[in-house]
Amino acid sequence: MDVLKGKHCSVDECKQFDFLPFNCSLCDKTFCLQHREQSAHKCTALAQEKNNILPKCPLCNKYVLIKSGESADTKMNQHIDSGCTQYMVDRKQESKPACTYSKCKAVRAPCECRLCRKWFCPQHRLADDHLCPYSDSGPKKKGARGGKLFNPFKAKLNDIQNDKNKNKNQKNKNNSAKFDPAKDRIRLRSVAKGNKNIESEQRFYLEIKFSGALKKKPLSMFFNKSKTVGRILDEICDERNIKNNNHIASARQLVLECCRTGGDLPMDVELRLMQPEFQSGDTVLIHYEDE
């Protein structure tokens, strides 16, 4: 039978005759059971692939590109048969610069923008992602692609303004870094007004601000979680002596707006049912509906 025709192991130190030999998929040589693994017979093709060793053509002195799973000898023969014109390493592809976007640290930038002709990483390849000056949404500085003529004086003023905005943002960032949410919650609980008979687990704390039309100072209060928004609005109005005519359809209606989400709170819903969209410790703004 043909299956019983064996072969010798290709390892020089072994040369064991095996009736069921194994063929390596990389170097295409025959091995016994002990040396069938690529690491066991120290496969030369695997070593080249791991170490990124590219063979050099003896005729044109150029490196031949070997992809994963390909034989170096076969690829070299194909390169020589093509007259040393194919399967070479593309130096232009190899020398592509890093991402041109100033805030990106990507080392590889294989994507070229068709508008500004600069190279970017895949994350910033789109014009809007790298703030391309020639896109419809980006600032146009040159007249070559339909934009306005570049004005050096205006550009200098823009740079000065950008530096001022950067310093302002850095200052706001430093101020926000000093803010401690834990200390702010302790402060809110210590200064908030409300019914002391409400248990601590049922208390809902709010920072309350008023619009310019109401002309009232900010206030900190706590309420029972089972109360509706309309009920706590009545308590706030009683505390600040604000006339609440929400029961009259033709009168100006007062609304509570969550400053964190920017949405008006429904009057007939209990506080506990609006969590976590509306949480204890949030800031609300009371204003007229037509403001």
Residue pair 71/28 in contact by the 8 Å Cβ criterion: yes
Select from 239, 245, 210 the least CA-distant residue to 222: 239
Peptide bond into 276 cis (omega under 30): yes
Q: Are strands 219-224 and 203-210 parallel, antiparallel or unpaired?
A: antiparallel
* pLDDT (mean) for 125-145: 67
Question: pTM of whole model > 0.85?
Answer: no
DSSP the chain: -GGG--EE-S-TTT--EESS-EE-TTT--EE-STT-STTTTT-HHHHHHHHTPPPB-TTT--BBP--TT--HHHHHHHHHHTTS-SSB--HHHHT-----STT---S---EE-TTT--EE-GGG-STTTTT-TTSSSSPP--TTTT-PPP-HHHHHHHHHHHHHHHHHHHHHHHHHHH--HHHHHHHHHHH-BS-TTS-GGGEEEEEEEE-TTT----EEEEEETTSBHHHHHHHHHHHHT----TTSTTSPPEEEEETTT--BPPTTSBGGGGTTTS-TT-EEEEEETT-
Q: Which residue has the tokens 């109005």?
A: 237
Q: How confident is the model at residue 281 (pLDDT cuts 50, 70, 90)?
A: confident
Select from 233, 235, 236 the least CA-distant residue to 217: 236
Q: Residue 101 corresponds to which tokens in the numbers above?
A: 């976007």
* pLDDT (mean) for 174-202: 76
Q: How confident is the model at residue 140 (pLDDT cuts 50, 70, 90)?
A: very low
Dist. CA 95–CA 83, nearest whole Å:
25
**pLDDT attached to residue 106:** 80
* pLDDT (mean) for 200-221: 88
pLDDT in tens, 12-37: 888 888 887 888 887 888 888 888 88
**pLDDT attached to residue 171:** 67
pLDDT in tens, 91-104: 555 554 578 888 88
Name which residue leads in pLDDT, 257 or 50.
257
